[in-house]
Chains A and B, each alone.
Chain A
Amino acid sequence: MAWLDAVLQGALTGGLYALFACGLSLLFGVMKVVNLAHGDLAVVAGYVAVGIITVTHVPVLWSFLIVVPVMGVAGYLLQRSVIQAALARGELTTLIVTFGLSVVIENALLQFFTANSRGLGAGEALVRSSLHLGPRLQVAWLLVVIFAVAVLVLLGLQYFLSRSQYGRLIRAVADDREAAQLAGCDDRHVFGIAAAIAFGTVGLAGIAYGMYSQLSPSTGTDTILLFAFAAVVIGGLGSLWGTLLGGVVLGVAQQIGAQIDISDDVLAGYLVFLAVLVLRPQGLTTRRAGS
């Protein structure tokens, strides 16, 4: 039963990791930008949520109504200014620029909010209560909710990319930027929209992590970014559903590692990550975003 429990908990945690990963995957799939500031931006979103909740007293669960649009606008502006300028100088430049952004954000957070960690109290109902599946098998409602949100986000992204006008333009620009421009499509605006959506999901990831655990200025790089990378690589770069699979595999590997020895959880996750990199570098799924 303990093993089954580990697999179940791990799989559900995979939803959280998929939420970390889908923004990273989308930005890479569309504009070949590896956003090293991804995790830090999620932490910023979490802090924004903390601030909003303190000031307006909205329930934690509903803070996303403000945080996601704020992150979306930030994503659009960041794309049109810093990232676009870096892209114009070559794809590798974006690595350096987003790395710089990561350092700046992390230090700014330290400066203004100190190194103390903060959580988003999701309320007793969600954190303490569990869904009972058997005599010794139960899962926290919070994880179930986060997993459901991740699936909804992925479904929404999939629908948006494959059916909507802007989704189609995003795929066209990702396929052939010049040809898209010849069709009258402003590639910079379209990339801005894609970045806005990716950042919106980063906002959700930040809130979810704040409810699941504690946020501190360094959480972005030492946890969120790394887990997002692992999930994306395991699942397959640029594949939306691959991020969910990657997240689940990572989560299960960590929980099984913890069963063997409680301090082995993170290590076990990275061992799977390494194994995939060596044995199947294209990831477990090879489908492209939106197809």
Chain B
Amino acid sequence: MTQPAVVRPLLEIRDLTVFHGQLRALSGISLEVQPGAVEAIIGANGAGKSTLLRTIAGLHHPSQGSVLLDGEDVTRTRPARRARAGIAMVPEGRRLFPSLTVEENLRVGASYARRGPWSIDSVYDLFGWMRERRRQKAAQLSGGEQQAVAIGRALVANPRVLLLDELSLGLAPVVVERIYTTLPQLLAAGLTVLLVEQDVGQALQVASRVHCLLEGRTTLTGLPSQLTREQVEAAYFGLRGATTGGVGHGVA
């Protein structure tokens, strides 16, 4: 359907509206993630960032709008099918299988893997300490270690898009730093990343494009290099004078 001359976005969100009961969590969000990009979604608590990622993964159902993976509409597809099609998510709070060992967690992640560069071995190479402790129960690991296993569990599926939900939550800054240093290696292996982050500094550092949410609406989009601190603050806290970037607002 799309013209082959234009680079098709790998992930496209069109006019997405999601309700939690009576509460409108997202209102008409649109965004595109190009192949190989790192799209960062920033915003305060309750802005709808996690809801957006969970809707893309299929855990919430939108009342309006659509989710497209490489041009294919997956809005009505169940989460497991989306995962097999190449959408992997590292959920907020890591959500490892606590009674399974590190290796078993990774093997569950690899159960329905696509072909690709990642395997349990390459994850062990990425996180050096993991091989030695593969027989430990996931529940016995520290928060940072669990986060690494959660990332590994998503990587071994060889996803096309990796959704990262609040990697920094509950972790020491040093640990967060260490986890984010692996990001370039993931991108080099051909991955596309959509991440949600409360830590704006961290997000601006790694993102190729930033998307700011406030109370379920887009308040700012743009390239990190072209955004001023004032613009970001205004969009983040909802101060007057917030500007909206050009991408996405296709509501006619």
Contact = CB atoms under 8 A, between A and B. Distances in A.
A176 B100 CA distance: 11
B108 A182 contact: no
Nearest to B153: A183
A178 interface: yes
Interface residues of B, number: 28
Nearest to B79: A181
Contacts of B108: 168-169, 172, 180, 183, 185
| Interface footprint category on A | 20 to 34
Given A178-B59, A178-B91, A179-B91, A185 B112 contact: yes
Nearest to A190: B80
Contact of B111 (A175, A178, A185, A288): A185
Interface string B143-161: 0000000000110010000
Nearest to B107: A168
Interface in B202-249: none
B95 A178 contact: yes
A184 B99 contact: no
B57 interface: yes
Interface in A150-174: 165, 168-169, 171-172, 174
Nearest to B138: A175
Contacts of A182: 57, 59, 79, 83, 88-89, 91, 95, 154
B96 A165 contact: no
Contacts of B157: 183-184
A181 B59 CA distance: 9
A171 B97 contact: yes
Contact of B95 (A168, A169, A179): A179
A180 B58 CA distance: 13
Contact of B112 (A174, A184, A187): A184
B109 interface: yes
Interface in B95-131: 95-100, 104-105, 107-109, 111-113
Interface string B65-104: 0000000000000111001100011010001111110001
A186 B77 CA distance: 12
Given A169-B111, A183-B108, A175 B80 contact: no
A183 B57 contact: no
Given A168-B104, A172-B108, A178-B91, A184 B98 contact: no
A187 B111 contact: no
A180 B88 contact: no
A183 B91 contact: no
Q: Chain A: interface secondary structure?
A: helix
B168 to A, nearest CB: 19
A80 to B, nearest CB: 14
B99 A171 contact: yes
B91 to A, nearest CB: 6
Contact of A184 (B59, B83, B96, B100): B83
Interface in A186-222: 186-187
A171 B100 contact: yes
A181 B80 CA distance: 5
B95 A183 contact: no
A291 interface: yes
A288 B100 CA distance: 12
Nearest to A291: B99
A176 B83 CA distance: 16
Contacts of A183: 83, 108-109, 111-112, 153, 157
A168 B112 contact: no
Contacts of A169: 108, 111
B107 A184 contact: no
A16 to B, nearest CB: 30
A186 B91 CA distance: 17
Interface in A244-291: 288, 291
B250 to A, nearest CB: 29
Nearest to B109: A183
A183 B78 CA distance: 12
Nearest to B86: A184
A239 B112 CA distance: 29
B85 to A, nearest CB: 9
Contacts of A184: 80, 83-84, 111-113, 157
Contact of B97 (A165, A179, A181, A186): A179
27 contacts: A165-B107, A168-B108, A171-B100, A172-B105, A175-B99, A176-B97, A179-B96, A179-B97, A180-B97, A180-B108, A181-B78, A182-B57, A182-B79, A182-B88, A182-B89, A182-B91, A183-B83, A183-B108, A183-B111, A183-B112, A183-B153, A184-B111, A184-B113, A185-B108, A185-B111, A186-B80, A291-B99
Interface of B: 57-59, 78-80, 83-84, 88-89, 91, 95-100, 104-105, 107-109, 111-113, 153-154, 157
